[in-house]
Structure 1
């Protein structure tokens, strides 16, 4: 059996390709740098993160990009010995009818790179892709965004030819598919089979009504006939299914002619029927505090990637091999999934960081992250606060299990309340927790917890906040389902809890935020005075329990 999800914890919008015996899946990374995660497998069951191709500012400049902006829905393909990666860099997407969505193409002859500098394609919409026709032509697809107030914003699917010699789009641009009655048509991919062009799209929005739609035509530019049993993958009619939000898919054919679909999914947990943040003391009525059923389902691991086996008879429509439309948690396979555990212990003894770490919006450079000045330690030079969309000194990794414990050892000697460093649990600038060492006039060096909840700032200061004014402090955060708890130690033996048991579900798409990413845990150093005071970290241990 293959156990879903195959890519756990914030790995959405999968694009799969087979090259000989090797399978690769590219997924969205949004504001996290380097851009685009690529996993590799030989059996479709077990996957390893092998590279992130957008690793230079010339390929991806996200300084100032909004939360959940950046890299949307990459498309990975391969033809004649060359890998092609199409991606969108979203500069603006919320708070306005307009979206700023620039689409680019990079290429490489090896999946590990080097990848080329980008070729600009257009800014028609997002979720762009490239189709390699059997007749040798290459076709570019993208959804069309219409900002006009009296129009459907999801205005259809654009088709235009791409010239690889001229490295540009050529010829007429045509809207080939307006979508089905599910609406919100995006994520187009084309496939060729049995004399048809099959157009796969994501519809219904990327939450609990998400779906995978299929249409086909004998001509690449249409007209396209919608599958009479549309949608062919969705969880919208099965609210109790373990895999929710099923949509945004990509198809692959194995060497022996079997077909599989990889698709986005989420695994929600139920939270209390009322929102503790909306208290009577703050003037909220019981009606305001009550949460609708869909608000009580929160995917604290973000949107993930699952796989389904298909039946696709010649000349017919594809169907899930197990029947129906609802994705299965386990699918039959000749391969066996190895139980996933992403536990990571790093002692910062290497000249480069473990591949699981990412930064926010910008490359990791020695000017703010140093692995050489103090061998065996990671040094972060404090910069902007955790609300910044510009230059944070932060590295973090995905949370990929419902039960984790993350700890670190820090040496940090602040001399101002403007200097903070420690362990952060992060969703975006509006939703995160930060256990940190800092300084004030009365307590000297001490611990605090900074919390941003839907953009509202608060702090927790322990009743006995003082610490030795120098030396190592050990910090820990434990996250189990909907509960998050910080603790600290001075000897790594005796641990004391800091603060209350917090709500981990604020680190999710489904909370009081509009976002598409996932929960991270990591290290942060901030110096709001601009002096760049460094914080040293001896090790980082992420453990899936």
Structure 2
């Protein structure tokens, strides 16, 4: 029987929520400040996955301008009932001690959309999910955030009925679970199995102490009894496990009656302990024990790299092309844009067919109107490259290839203009908001096109450039790629490294750069 290799969604793909509809499995993950919001992946066998949709693709559904780093879309929940997909998500506008966490619902009869405009639910906390009870009623659960000093900010799991007819929450709110001694109780999902209501939660925080907790009750409203062998899943007690940060789970039953849990995880670079790939998604087979509790099929509570598959016919997807020549009328679904939609004010695939035109806007420090498009780093070793035509007239105009974590942490191989060198190429970096230029600019005056390359090997990043895409010259020193990780960034963020293309024009004249191609090649 084919096995599943973890993680099933490598790279920045946290907070998984899974649903099966017939023979199809769909899995939603968080996208934070990247637009369009929510990634939905599709599989037929739980082994092979591909990105098929980003449901939140209109400003009426999601406006991320000004969103804090690691704000925006948190922990979507994807469910299906009576011919309709339901997607619940939080839009985080402030993520300090006092949080602004607005929870919404969108629906669609087809996973590919078009998805509805959002229904506002509440703002009492985050990680909302929707439970469809077998009597036809629907219930929202979310964690409650308590900002008062001296209190546990994770103030329990709230339950309230949702009325589809009225398109709002109705009736009283119940606090059904205060959590365990692990603390930081969040990420709730409800299920009804064999007459019990099971409440699955994430505890211990989303870093190394992350865990999956299970509790159950005969009544929807509780009281909920905690699993006697809690936690169901964690890696906090063994730092040698290749999958760390295991937590934030969701359950799915296969056509054959087997059960699986998808969950968040992280893979540290062995020599540095940092996770530039971010929080990823893995899967574990689970079973129901004789006393009605959920257990890992292999025993214990540690996540496994190799998992027994569900015995379904394997259905791999076509291999993704390494090179994107921008010949399609729309961007690849692997690309996302920082905080804003793909609009002609910033980007165009039509003005010069076969090129992605990026129009320079605000600086890399901006949380409002940047022109930056990127994809996830999904392997420890990869090479990315691009060909760009750009004629800057001032040092305030820049374009190039960027390895990016957030507005305070990035490495940028950029073309610009210098009064003495003319058109030039150099590296800029930002280290927790400290700017640096680790090497002198080099003149590329007279070059119509410049090819740019980034080569990453775990914690090492080296940039290159070329006039023809054949003969490459290294530029600047070897850089510390492990800085693009949750564990390094001081803002307390939790996304993952991205690599992509961008253009800035700090004069406000929107000078454009034309990118002929983008390549992303993972290396073993």
TM-score (norm 1): 0.93
Look up the SS of the partner of 1:505 in the other structure: helix
CA distance in 2, matches of 1:371, 1:6: 31
* Structure 2 equivalent of residue 7 of structure 1: 9
Q: CA deviation at 1:428?
A: 0.2
Secondary structure of 1:391's aligned partner: coil
Mapped to 2, the partners of 1:498 and 1:470 lie a distance apart of 17
Q: CA-atom RMSD, angstroms?
A: 1.4
Q: Distance in 1 between matches of 2:273 and 2:316?
A: 28
Compared with structure 1, are the counterparts of its residues 88 and 49 closer, same or farther at alpha carbon in structure 2 (3 Å cutoff)?
same
1:190-247 CA deviation, whole Å, 9 max, x = no partner?
0101111000000000001000000000000100111111101000111111111000
Per-residue CA distance 1:497-522 (angstroms, 9 max, x = gap)? 01110001111111133111111110
Asked whether the equivalents of residues 341 and 544 of structure 1 are also in contact (C-alpha less than 8 Å), the reply is no
Q: Distance in 1 between matches of 2:218 and 2:205?
A: 28
Match of 2:40 among 35, 38, 41: 38
* CA shift in 2, pair 1:341/1:405, >3 Å: farther
State the shift of 1:343 in Å. 5.3
What corresponds to 2:127 in structure 1?
Answer: 127
Q: 1:398 & 1:508 partners in 2: Cα distance?
A: 13
The aligned residue for residue 283 of structure 2 is 307
Contact 2:409 2:484 in 1 (8 A): yes
| 2:477 maps to 1:495 | no
1:351 Cα deviation from its structure 2 partner: 1.4
1:148 Cα deviation from its structure 2 partner: 0.3
Give runs of aligned pairs for residues 82-231 of structure 1, distance below 5 A: 82-94=84-96, 97-231=97-231
Secondary structure in 2 matching 1:270: coil
Would you say the 8 A contact 1:346–1:539 is kept in 2?
yes
Q: State how far apart, in whole Å, the 1-side matches of 2:481 and 2:157 are.
A: 38
Within the alignment, does 1:322 sit opposite 2:298 as a pair?
Answer: yes
Counterpart position of 1:472: 449
The equivalent of 1:290 in structure 2 is none
After superposition, the Cα gap between the structure-2 partners of 1:233 and 1:86, relative to the gap in structure 1 and judged at 3 Å, is same
1:496, 1:112 → 2: CA distance? 43
Alignment pair present for 1:409 and 2:405: no
CA deviations over 1:242-263 (Å, ceiling 9, x no partner) = 1110000000111221110000
**Which residue of structure 1 lines up, in the alignment, with residue 273 of structure 2?**
297
Mapped partners of 1:505, 1:172: distance in 2: 47
Counterpart in the other structure of 2:78 = 76
How far is 1:314 from its partner? 5.8
Deviation digits for residues 328-371 of structure 1 (CA, Å, limit 9, x no counterpart): 00011235696997553111111111111110111000111011
Matching of residue 482 in structure 1 with residue 433 in structure 2: no
Residues 342 and 544 in structure 1, CA contact (< 8 A), matched pair in contact too: no
C-alpha displacement of 1:377? 1.1
Task: Spell out, residue by residue over 1:297-339, the C-alpha distance to the aligned partner (whole angstroms, 9 max, x if none).
Answer: 1111111000000111465100000110001000112356969
Call closer, same or farther: CA 1:342–1:202 in 2, change over 3 Å. farther
Cα distance per residue 1:392-444 (max 9 Å; x no partner): 11111011111110111111111100000000000000110110000111111
Residue of structure 2 in register with 1:396 after alignment: 374
Question: Are 2:15 and 2:76, in contact at CA under 8 Å, matched by a contact in 1?
Answer: yes
Cα-to-partner distance string for 1:166-205 (whole Å, 9 max, x where unaligned): 0010000011100000000000000101111000000000
CA contact (8 A) 2:31 2:38 kept: yes
- Give the SS at the match of 1:541: strand
Q: CA deviation at 1:533?
A: 0.5
- CA contact 2:144–2:158 (8 Å) conserved in 1: yes
User: Do 2:409 and 2:489's aligned partners in 1 also have CA atoms closer than 8 Å?
Assistant: no
Residue 423 of structure 1 corresponds to 401
Instruction: Give the distance between the partners of 1:353 and 1:340, measured in 2 at CA.
Output: 18
The CA distance in 2 between the partners of 1:436 and 1:390, in whole Å, is 21
Gaps of 5+ in 1: 272-295
Runs of 4+ in 1 over 4 A off after TM superposition: 335-343
With over 3 angstroms needed to count, the CA separation of the structure-2 counterparts of 1:42 and 1:337, relative to structure 1, is closer
| Structure 1 contact 348–538 (Cα < 8 Å) conserved | yes
Deviations 1:132-186 (A, max 9, x none): 0011110000100000002110000000000011001000001110000000000
Question: Does the 8 Å CA contact 2:159/2:175 hold for their aligned counterparts?
Answer: yes
Q: Does 1:460 align with 2:438?
A: yes
SS at match of 2:483: helix
- Contact between 2:19 and 2:78, CA under 8 Å: does it hold in 1? yes
- Against the structure 1 CA distance between its residues 337 and 231, is the aligned structure 2 distance closer, same or farther, given a 3 Å change threshold? farther
Residue of structure 2 equivalent to 1:279: none
Going from structure 1 to structure 2, the CA distance change for 1:148 and 1:329 (only over 3 Å counts) comes to same
Cross-structure match for 1:235: 235
**Aligned positions, number:** 518
Contact 2:45 2:315 in 1 (8 A): no
In the alignment, is the contact (CA less than 8 A) between 1:406 and 1:543 conserved in 2?
Answer: yes
SS in 1 for 2:228: coil
- 8 A contact 1:83–1:108 mirrored in 2: yes
The 5-angstrom pairing of residues 258-269 of structure 1 reads 258-269=258-269
- 1:37–1:397 distance in 2 versus 1, CA, 3 Å: same
User: Conserved in 2, the CA contact under 8 Å of 1:342 and 1:543?
Assistant: no
Range with greater deviation from structure 2 (176-185 or 329-338): 329-338
Q: In structure 1, what is the Cα distance between the partners aligned to 2:140 and 2:165?
A: 15
Shift, 1:378, TM fit: 1.2
Q: Secondary structure at the match of 1:510?
A: coil
Q: Is the 8 A contact 2:289 2:295 kept in 1?
A: no
Q: Is the 8 A contact 2:11 2:278 kept in 1?
A: yes
